Amino acid sequence: MAERKRTSVDTVKRETTKRIAVEEALNRALEYFKRLYASQSVSSVQLEEVVLSDDNDYWFITLSYREPDQILGAIKSTTKYKIFQIHAETGAVKSMKIRDV
């Protein structure tokens, strides 16, 4: 008789949990960013990276954006990066962190 392979609780969870699509996670990150930075002068918001956590619980979305230099203004701008942690099942934004490059 063939031995039946045991399935761990984590594996069952990954297989049965419905998660939002990566496009939806990106939209949640963009909406959150736009709300928080509505009063600031930022431009060229772009998607840089997308990672699904090893446990499939979170999407990590990295966005870049351009921010004018405080002194030189429109003449020179700096690229900055933010990492958003999005709950893969609910789509809730759990955190937004600075990413140093």
Is the domain spanning 18-98 CATH 3.10.450.50? The answer is: yes
Instruction: Break the chain into its structural domains and give their ranges.
Output: 18-98
The pTM (predicted TM-score) of the whole model is 0.78
Tell me which residues of the chain have a pLDDT lower than 50: none
pLDDT at 41: 86
45-65 pLDDT, tens digit each: 999 999 999 999 999 999 999
| Sequence-separated contacts (24+) of 77-85 with Cβ below 8 Å | 77/43, 81/48, 82/33, 84/28, 84/29, 84/32, 84/33, 84/59, 84/60, 85/58, 85/59, 85/60
pLDDT at 70: 64
pLDDT at 69: 72
pLDDT at 9: 52
pLDDT at 62: 99
pLDDT at 101: 84
CA distance 89 to 21: 9
CA distance 75 to 22: 35
SS3 state at 81:
strand
